């Protein structure tokens, strides 16, 4: 196998991508890019990446090296231009979540991947946690029967990313916790349930908690929500409730997805949730009695690493686990959520 040349742009988040590529059991040469020269050289030195493989300019990196793949880890509003440039330069792309700040940009990204024949994978890494993989397998095998209701949430007690440019986060990030946290738990719920087609969406957003603290921090225009909720009706009759908050008046952080089916139900909490009282269990009827079956009773063949999965989709010429089409679906739903919240009325998908 020839050496894979992989670029990573945006090293604040991209450092985790570098670690995955360096630990991979494949022959990989890494190239890195960041506009902050100090950060570029600090991380380059940390990982012993040669000076000639470090760039402050993304266009220069693309023109200097024939890259096989690129991890796009820049701020959300740059996902579209950087992804399209990388695809048109002949590289496959792993783009950080969310796919972009809106569905219009996400569609242009997907069209660029289709046009160039390159793979575009979105970094929805919660699909690679053990609990999510077990849940998806159980549902796909029919253990829960027909899924009729899902509740998927990510609430923080106090976890506002104050380092964001929050006075303009509607433009640079695409929104608040709905697009930041909600996209993760929405994606994993849709994936576990086979990506049912949305029919209509009713939503609302709130900026209810952080106003005073924002002003104390010199942010007069906190431009996004601190909490958002949505109800999605699917074409197959399933209902999905989504909740996300950066700051809410609750006992602890909670990251949880609960799924109800005609034969059984399940609940999962992300491995990194601070609410350790959460459980990961299947609830299924046996001999007329509803039993609790902990996920520890199930084997998961390969939890894996999303970045390694991306590499293997290139080497094996297979479809990425998190496809551009699925990323676009999530982006379209979030756009409709914000539209419903703005109009204070249900909207069609």
User: Could you tell me the pLDDT band of residue 302, with boundaries at 50, 70 and 90?
Assistant: low
Lowest mean pLDDT among 8-22, 66-80, 267-281, 291-305: 267-281
DSSP state letters, 62-116 = HHHS--SEEEE-S-GGGHHHHHHHHHHTT-EEEEESSS-SSHHHHHHHHHHHHHH
pLDDT at 278 > cutoff 60 = no
pLDDT digits (tens, 9 = 90+) for 230-241: 999 999 999 999
Model confidence at 129: pLDDT above 90? no
Going along the chain from its start, the domains and CATH numbers come out as 4-123+305-320 (3.40.50.720), 126-301 (3.30.360.10)
pTM given for the model: 0.94
> Which is more confidently placed, 279 or 144?
144
271 has a pLDDT exceeding 90? no
Question: Residues 171-183: what's their mean pLDDT?
Answer: 95
* Residue 310 CB neighbours (<10 A): 25
The dihedral sign for the CA sequence 84, 90, 92, 93: negative
pLDDT of residue 215: 80
* Model pLDDT, residue 270: 63
Q: How confident is the model at residue 274 (pLDDT cuts 50, 70, 90)?
A: very low
What's the whole-number average pLDDT of the chain?
Answer: 93
Distance CA 41, CA 47 (A): 10
pLDDT of 208 > 80? The answer is yes
Residue 93, number of CB atoms within 10 A of its CB: 30
Q: Which comes out higher in pLDDT, residue 239 or 172?
A: 239
> What pLDDT band is residue 281 in, cutting at 50, 70 and 90?
confident
Q: Output the pLDDT for position 147.
A: 98
Tell me how far apart the alpha carbons of residues 181 and 157 are, in angstroms, rounded to a whole number.
13
Q: What is the pLDDT of residue 272?
A: 47
pLDDT score for 279: 62
Going by C-alpha positions, the residue among 336, 328, 349 that lies closest to residue 203 is 336
In this structure, what token pair is assigned to residue 206?
């709130």
pLDDT at 51 over 70: yes
């Amino acid at each position: 196998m020839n050496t894979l040349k992989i670029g990573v742009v945006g090293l604040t988040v991209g450092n985790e991508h570098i670690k995955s590529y360096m630990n991979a059991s494949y022959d990989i040469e890494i190239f890195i890019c960041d506009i902050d020269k100090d950060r570029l050289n600090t991380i380059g030195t940390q990982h012993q990446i040669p000076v000639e493989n470090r760039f402050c300019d993304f266009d220069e990196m693309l023109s200097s090296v024939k890259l096989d793949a690129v991890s796009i880890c820049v701020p959300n509003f740059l996902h579209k231009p950087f992804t399209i440039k990388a695809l048109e330069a002949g590289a496959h792309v792993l783009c950080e979540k969310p796919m972009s700040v809106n569905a219009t940009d996400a569609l242009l990204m997907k069209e660029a991947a289709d046009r160039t024949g390159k793979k575009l994978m979105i970094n929805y890494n919660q699909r690679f946690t053990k609990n999510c993989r077990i849940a998806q397998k159980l549902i796909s095998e029919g253990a829960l029967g027909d899924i009729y209701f899902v509740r998927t949430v990510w609430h923080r007690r106090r976890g506002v990313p104050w380092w964001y440019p929050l006075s303009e986060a509607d433009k640079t990030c695409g929104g608040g916790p709905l697009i930041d946290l909600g996209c993760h738990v929405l994606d994993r719920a849709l994936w576990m349930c086979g990506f049912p087609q949305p029919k209509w969406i009713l939503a609302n957003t709130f900026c209810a908690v952080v106003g005073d603290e924002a002003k104390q921090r010199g942010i007069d225009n906190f431009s996004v929500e601190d909490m958002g909720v949505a109800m999605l009706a699917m074409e197959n009759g399933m209902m999905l409730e989504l909740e996300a908050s950066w700051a809410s008046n609750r006992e602890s952080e909670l990251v949880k997805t609960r799924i109800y089916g005609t034969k059984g139900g399940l609940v999962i909490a992300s491995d990194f949730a601070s609410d350790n009282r959460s459980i990961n269990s299947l609830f299924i009827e046996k001999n007329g009695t509803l039993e609790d079956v902990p996920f520890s009773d199930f084997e998961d063949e390969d939890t894996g690493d999303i970045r390694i999965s991306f590499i293997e989709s290139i080497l094996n010429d297979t479809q990425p686990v998190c496809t551009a089409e699925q990323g676009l679906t999530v982006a379209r739903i979030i756009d409709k959520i914000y539209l419903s919240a703005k109009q204070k009325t249900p909207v069609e998908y």
